[in-house]
Amino acid sequence: DAGVTQSPTHLIKTRGQQVTLRCSPKSGHDTVSWYQQALGQGPQFIFQYYEEEERQRGNFPDRFSGHQFPNYSSELNVNALLLGDSALYLCASSLSGLGQETQYFGPGTRLLVL
Amino acid sequence: AQTVTQSQPEMSVQEAETVTLSCTYDTSESDYYLFWYKQPPSRQMILVIRQEAYKQQNATENRFSVNFQKAAKSFSLKISDSQLGDAAMYFCAYRSSYGGSQGNLIFGKGTKLSVKP
């Protein structure tokens, strides 16, 4: 049973550039959530996708956008990168519906903005 | 807004001993879910245990158990017979059961657990 996968594992960008991170959910899951984890902190919720629509969004600027594909995989896009965007980006998948509240995380993508 | 607080930035335990990690949360909701996740240096966030607020019985998963005190808004994790592989960052997380908040996990800042051989 394949778990949540993310690519790439590491990424280095410069300020002002754009980046795309990818996530494939756990087999059978239809919902993908993205989190940003700064060094030494707990993850912060960015947004969640279900049925190819953004269902919920945290307190992140519009520079952060996403997409979900028909196969439930997802992308996180960040435009006009800032130094403060350097963080570990985690993708989590879950199954919609009652009793399916647990989110399963991928290994993350470490983004460094120079 | 809900908040999660982990007051112990670091903890240490001797191998084979028992350790308890603390977590408190603030919410006005009556129905929600609580989780403990483990994040080893490999970065992958791994689910340790979950608790439904409507269940009075404390959740248990092998060597891991929780002490859920709903009135006190406390959710501590007890690790028995600690093993070297338990060394990691441990995060407490809250998730609402209501409407549009269903997708949002709210995390504490974490507790770094060291296990001494």
pLDDT score at A100: 66
Rounded Cα gap, residues A73 and A82, in angstroms: 26
- Alpha carbon of B24: minimum distance to chain A alpha carbons (Å): 15
Q: Which of 31-60 (B) contact A at CB < 8 A?
A: 33, 35, 37, 42-47, 50
CA dihedral A107, B5, B106, A88 (to 10 degrees): -30
Average pLDDT of the segment spanning B18-35: 94
Helix, strand, or coil (residue A83): helix
B97 pLDDT band, cuts 50/70/90, is: confident
**Number of CB pairs, chain A paired with chain B, less than 8 A apart:** 62
Q: Contacts of residue B91 in chain A, CB cutoff 8 Å?
A: 42-43
Please name the member of B97, B101, B107 whose beta carbon is closest to the beta carbon of A43.
Answer: B107
In sequence order, which residues have a C-beta less than 8 Å from that of residue B1 and are 6 or more positions away?
Answer: none
Which residue of B lies nearest to A94 if distances are taken between CA atoms?
B103
* Pairing between β-strand B64-69 and β-strand B74-79 as defined by DSSP bridges: antiparallel
pLDDT tens across A52-93, in order? 999 889 999 999 999 999 999 999 999 999 999 999 999 999
Beta strands in chain A (DSSP E): 5-7, 10-13, 19-24, 31-37, 44-50, 53-57, 64-68, 74-78, 87-94, 104-105, 109-113
